[in-house]
A and B are shown apart, each in its own frame.
Chain A
Amino acid sequence: MALISRGFRGRHRDNPPGRVPPGQYLVDGFPVLSAGPTPHTPTDRWDFTVVGEVDDPPRWTWDDFRALPTETVTKDIHCVTKWSKLDTVWEGVSLDTLLADVVTEAEYVTAFCDGGYTTNLPLDDLLDGKAWIATGYGGEPLEPEHGGPARLLVPHLYLWKSAKWVRGLRLTTEDEPGFWESLGYHMYGDPWREQRYAGD
């Protein structure tokens, strides 16, 4: 039984039922949290690659990438720092499209990014309509502060898994801890099971 905080009433917002994971609160703005300065990669120097446990590593230039079919999706997003934002609208390429021709026995993925950020997740969590490489937010090109020109979007996990400034995926046989995972954050990060830190 949780400790009752004497005199605390809170704001008792009417959160839409079933939309706000435990420990989260809703925000209207779009917070920016990242480790370090914002990279600014010009699109003429951008590429996206899938490397590691893959026979024929594919590569897309920005032009190649923009020629791929995109989707517009509306998703709720949940940051480990406790804020959640509902009904955010993103444009991007589904990982199902990107990985359609990739043959691999790997079960895990490490996303790698400009600036050196990495994050890891099971390959299954990128497939079957669960993840995108997003290039647009709210109908506009994705701003650098929010991960532009392209970021990974995996909304069913805490937002640190939605790696900003993503440049590729490395397919791995083991689950290898990325940047925050190596600093004590959870390897998987399911907001509904409140998997914020290692051991949760």
Chain B
Amino acid sequence: MENATVRSLRLDVPGWPGHLAGQHVDLRLTAEDGYQAQRSYSIASGPEDDGVVLTVERLDDGEVSPYLVDEVRAGDRIELRGPIGGYFVWQAGDGGPVMLIGGGSGIVPLRAMIRHWAALGGPVPVRLLASWRSTADAIYTAELDRLAAAGDGFEAVSTLTRSAPPGWDGEVGRVTPDMLGRVAWPSDGRPLAFVCGPTGFVEAVATGLVELGYEPARVRTERFGPTGGPDG
């Protein structure tokens, strides 16, 4: 488990053709009576990592996520389709500087990009802004802190939107145009941005980046989950 509600699963996929950082897979579950449910999950592992790692957050009203987080055990088999997606991907040829902005579990495909970037030896400057409700909700913290401390071109900033511990020296509150102005790469370097998370988060951040002068075609977005109502 990454924390109380988030679990990373490593899948061994015979014949896996490899994937690009940012792609996802479709999982299909079948109950004994034949009932089926399908959902998409971003791949958390980089193309150079072993196996296919998915990081799943248990949603209270979810139909599939509680099964993946609470029930699945080593040795279980799952039907998987992928990799899927060619738009929300980062490859070395895409250049930089790269601005990654994740809301909650929106960080998952961004983490794949970061791992790929590191495996390539950090070819361009990369900055991550991660938004969490509290430090208890954060994932990948140790790995990202280690990378940032290495000082090889990766920087990370977090913002906490509900509660911050005493002595917290990161950002506080929702991502605002003001925060983006301070934290995001300046637009004159023609940065390439990837924004991922709940739709309201992505809408606000993408609009904020465009207002800062980011070219709309260089702000790529991936939105998770429905607005209102239960989901998977």
Which residues of A pack against B, CB within 8 Å?
2-12, 22-23, 25, 27-39, 81-83, 115-116, 145, 179-180, 183-184, 197
Across the interface, do B38 and A4 meet the contact criterion of CB distance under 8 Å? no
Within 8 A of A (CB), among B19-38: 28-32, 34-38
B181 within 8 A of A: no
Contact of B31 among A10, A35, A38 (CB under 8 A): A10
| Cα–Cα, bound, A12→B88 (Å) | 32
Return chain B residues, CB-CB under 8 Å to A81: 40
Shortest distance in angstroms between B84's beta carbon and chain A's nearest beta carbon? 7
Across the interface, do B231 and A27 meet the contact criterion of CB distance under 8 Å? yes
Across the interface, do A3 and B207 meet the contact criterion of CB distance under 8 Å? no
Shortest distance in angstroms between A37's beta carbon and chain B's nearest beta carbon? 4
B137 within 8 A of A: no
Across the interface, do A12 and B35 meet the contact criterion of CB distance under 8 Å? yes
Return chain A residues, CB-CB under 8 Å to B78: 3, 5
B173 within 8 A of A: no
Across the interface, do A3 and B79 meet the contact criterion of CB distance under 8 Å? yes
| Chain B residue nearest to A37 in the complex (CB) | B206
Q: List 24 A-B contacts (CB under 8 A).
A: A2-B34, A4-B32, A5-B29, A5-B77, A7-B67, A8-B29, A8-B67, A8-B71, A10-B31, A23-B38, A25-B63, A27-B226, A28-B230, A29-B226, A29-B228, A34-B221, A37-B206, A37-B209, A37-B219, A38-B203, A82-B40, A83-B226, A145-B203, A183-B85
A29-B229, A83-B231 are known contacts. Are A9 and B31 too (CB-CB below 8 A)? yes
| Cα–Cα, bound, A81→B223 (Å) | 11
Shortest distance in angstroms between A126's beta carbon and chain B's nearest beta carbon? 25
Across the interface, do B229 and A28 meet the contact criterion of CB distance under 8 Å? yes
B174 within 8 A of A: no
Shortest distance in angstroms between B26's beta carbon and chain A's nearest beta carbon? 8
Across the interface, do B227 and A30 meet the contact criterion of CB distance under 8 Å? yes
A28-B230, A30-B227 are known contacts. Are A36 and B216 too (CB-CB below 8 A)? yes
B210 within 8 A of A: yes
Contact of A25 among B37, B79, B209, B217 (CB under 8 A): B37
Across the interface, do B87 and A82 meet the contact criterion of CB distance under 8 Å? no
Within 8 A of A (CB), among B193-216: 199, 203, 206-207, 209-210, 216
| Chain A residue nearest to B37 in the complex (CB) | A10
Across the interface, do A28 and B223 meet the contact criterion of CB distance under 8 Å? no
The 3 lowest CB-CB distance pairs between A and B, nearest first, are A28-B229, A29-B228, A183-B86
Across the interface, do B30 and A28 meet the contact criterion of CB distance under 8 Å? no
Return chain A residues, CB-CB under 8 Å to B220: 35-36
Across the interface, do B39 and A27 meet the contact criterion of CB distance under 8 Å? no
